[in-house]
């Protein structure tokens, strides 16, 4: 890294700054792909963040990769806002706060809407079911057009669910289950079809993996997804590598989308650079296509007007901003979205969990003993250094990872609130809090493993065969 990049913004033109920022973005990406030392990556990131703040000061606009200052009117940047340091895109999440990403700011920056109490109440009213704990607790915190979906549903117009997973390894951790647990609840609650995209093509393009491995991971991951309890008569799971070639209607939609999105647009949204392979540049159309019902003629009988609702983690939003932008131009309804927060790593809420670090998360294959050891050893604690101090001043549940995990998985609201209060007052010690978490996770993971064992290759094949589902469209 050259020192001059760190100079103040004072005498630089917007174009100078823009070019420095673009260069610095490349530097960060290169360091990451080359797996450089964490300190180097962090330093490069800090500089990138600083440049973005300078850029905003000088131009009054957010920096948008691929979009030089004079050309840009609307900005859809995913990088840090001028007043914060969180960075969220489909491949990177970083923040400097122990509480994690500031989600209210993300809503403003992404231009989505907050899932407020009114919407939670409305979902309960319309569905006649108690809201899922992920809704009650703000884990699904942001949405696009959910009111519209409910308006239509009240008038007996149905919709379908679309979610997905990028199969980058055989090992899935509990964080990966969040969208699926919630999607299962939505499917049961509204009784609607569900399509699940396994982007083995995406992982091949982005990671150093063979096509065969990516496809194998897709099938292995499908088993964990099926073990969440999806109904085979209402759910279609597909690997892109298989379905793209098998479905002319799907591929036609991919091509339509590709024709209506420019390189400049994807550069702006995803930050692609000149040295990214063309597969990456074309890929967003493949993740967009399942948002349109005529990509699945076997399910929707060729209809193109069935509304789609996508539950996903907020880092996937760039794909669907693009999708929503292109939809009206090719004559399709825009998909609606429900966004979740990130599941924190055991070490703290600064980052997403990584499937490549065995100690950063609880894996679906962990034994009860491993779960106990990991939580006790690695779960970042908001407790005080000594029992005396803890009793006196209390712990901080807001940064305590064991408490955060309990908000995801402990069903009982009252019990959770009591734990929060007792921990904050010092009545509950860190060891006791961790014990509650261990006792919540162990049976949950064990029963997942038992359900997964029941999933045979034949079951996977059933879910992954294109076929009509139990709905009449």
Binding track, positions 269-308, relative to ligand TRP; x by CB under 6 A: ------------------x---------------------
Residue with tokens 């409305």: 122
Q: Does 214 bind ligand TRP (CB under 6 A)?
A: no
Residue selected from 197, 239, 341, 350 as contacting ligand TRP according to rule CB under 6 A: 197
Q: Is 337 helix (H, G, I), strand (E, B) or coil?
A: strand
* Nearest-angstrom CA–CA distance, 366 and 448: 11
In whole angstroms, how close is the CB of 168 to ligand TRP at the nearest point? 7
Q: Does 239 bind ligand TRP (CB under 6 A)?
A: no
Segment lying near ligand TRP (by CB under 6 A), choices 27-35, 161-169, 272-280, 405-413: 161-169
* Nearest-angstrom CA–CA distance, 38 and 32: 9
Q: How far is CA 203 from the centre of its chain?
A: 15
DSSP string, 60-119: SS---TT--GGG-SS----S--TT---EESSS-EE-S-TT---HHHHHHHHT-EE--HHH
Which strands sit side by side in the sheet containing 307-313, from one edge to the other?
A: 113-114, 140-144, 336-340, 307-313, 159-165, 194-198, 235-239
How much is the CA Rg of the chain, to the nearest whole Å? 23
Q: Is 437 helix (H, G, I), strand (E, B) or coil?
A: helix
Which ranges in 247-301 belong to alpha helices (H)? 248-259, 263-270, 278-288, 297-300
Residue selected from 164, 193, 335, 394 as contacting ligand TRP according to rule CB under 6 A: 164
Residue with Cβ nearer ligand TRP (63 or 332): 332
Strands (E), 306-369: 307-313, 336-340, 344-345, 348-352
How many residues of this chain bind ligand TRP (CB under 6 A)?
12
In whole angstroms, how close is the CB of 362 to ligand TRP at the nearest point? 18
Strand partners, 162: 195
Q: Does 324 bind ligand TRP (CB under 6 A)?
A: no
Q: Does 312 bind ligand TRP (CB under 6 A)?
A: yes
Q: Does 183 bind ligand TRP (CB under 6 A)?
A: no
In whole angstroms, how close is the CB of 315 to ligand TRP at the nearest point? 8
Helix axes 14-33, 38-59, angle to 10 degrees: 160
Residue selected from 29, 64, 132, 165 as contacting ligand TRP according to rule CB under 6 A: 165
Residue selected from 166, 271, 395, 397 as contacting ligand TRP according to rule CB under 6 A: 166
Q: Does 335 bind ligand TRP (CB under 6 A)?
A: no
Q: Does 338 bind ligand TRP (CB under 6 A)?
A: no
In whole angstroms, how close is the CB of 263 to ligand TRP at the nearest point? 20
Q: Does 442 bind ligand TRP (CB under 6 A)?
A: no
Residue selected from 201, 202, 224, 366 as contacting ligand TRP according to rule CB under 6 A: 202
Q: Going by C-beta distance under 8 Å and a sequence separation of 6 or more, which residues neighbour residue 178?
A: 134, 139, 313, 340, 343, 408
Q: Does 163 bind ligand TRP (CB under 6 A)?
A: yes
Segment lying near ligand TRP (by CB under 6 A), choices 135-143, 183-191, 196-204, 356-364: 196-204
In whole angstroms, how close is the CB of 4 to ligand TRP at the nearest point? 36
DSSP state of 173: B
In Å, the largest CA–CA distance within the chain is 68
In whole angstroms, how close is the CB of 63 to ligand TRP at the nearest point? 24
Segment lying near ligand TRP (by CB under 6 A), choices 121-129, 195-203, 300-308, 357-365: 195-203
Binding track, positions 378-397, relative to ligand TRP; x by CB under 6 A: --------------------
Residues interacting with ligand TRP, by CB under 6 A? Answer: 162-166, 197, 199, 202, 287, 310, 312, 316
């Amino acid at each position: 890294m050259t020192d001059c990049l760190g100079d103040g913004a004072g005498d630089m033109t917007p174009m100078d700054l823009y070019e420095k920022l673009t260069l610095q973005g490349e530097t960060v990406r290169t360091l990451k792909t080359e797996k450089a030392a964490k300190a180097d990556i962090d330093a490069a990131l800090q500089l990138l963040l600083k440049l973005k703040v300078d850029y905003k000061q000088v131009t009054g606009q957010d920096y948008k990769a691929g979009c030089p200052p004079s050309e840009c009117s609307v900005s859809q940047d995913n990088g840090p806002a001028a007043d914060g340091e969180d960075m969220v895109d489909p491949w990177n999440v970083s923040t400097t706060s122990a509480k994690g990403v500031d989600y209210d700011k993300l809503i403003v920056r992404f231009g989505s809407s907050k899932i407020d109490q009114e919407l939670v109440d409305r979902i309960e009213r319309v569905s006649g079911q108690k809201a899922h704990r992920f809704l009650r607790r703000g884990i699904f915190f942001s949405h696009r057009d959910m009111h519209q979906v409910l308006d239509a549903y009240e008038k007996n117009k149905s919709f379908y669910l679309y979610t997905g997973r990028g199969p980058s390894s055989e090992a899935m951790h509990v964080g990966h289950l969040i969208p699926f647990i919630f999607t299962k609840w939505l499917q049961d609650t509204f009784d609607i079809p569900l399509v699940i995209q396994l982007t083995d093509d995406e992982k091949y393009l982005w990671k150093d993996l063979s096509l065969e491995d990516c496809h194998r991971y897709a099938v292995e991951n499908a088993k964990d997804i099926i073990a969440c309890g999806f109904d085979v008569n209402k759910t279609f799971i597909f690997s892109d590598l298989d379905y793209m070639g098998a479905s002319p209607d799907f591929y036609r939609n991919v091509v339509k989308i590709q024709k209506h999105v420019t390189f400049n647009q994807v550069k702006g949204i995803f930050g692609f650079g000149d040295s990214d392979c063309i597969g990456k540049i074309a890929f967003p159309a493949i993740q967009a296509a399942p948002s349109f019902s005529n990509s699945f003629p076997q399910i929707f009988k060729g209809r193109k007007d069935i509304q789609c609702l996508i539950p996903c983690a907020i880092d996937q939003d760039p794909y669907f901003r693009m999708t929503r932008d292109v939809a009206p131009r090719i004559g399709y309804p825009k998909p609606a979205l429900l966004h979740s927060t990130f599941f924190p790593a055991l070490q703290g809420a600064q980052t997403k969990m990584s499937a490549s670090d065995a100690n950063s998360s609880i894996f679906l294959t962990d034994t009860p003993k491993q779960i106990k050891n990991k939580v006790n050893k690695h779960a970042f604690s908001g407790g005080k250094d000594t029992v005396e101090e803890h009793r006196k001043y209390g712990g901080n549940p807001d940064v305590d990872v064991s408490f955060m995990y309990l908000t995801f998985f402990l069903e009982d609201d009252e019990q959770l609130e009591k734990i929060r209060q007792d921990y904050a007052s010092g009545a509950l010690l860190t060891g006791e809090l961790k014990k509650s978490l261990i006792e919540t996770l162990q049976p949950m993971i064990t029963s997942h493993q038992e359900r997964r064992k029941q999933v045979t290759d034949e079951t996977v094949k059933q879910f992954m065969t294109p076929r009509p589902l139990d709905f009449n469209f």
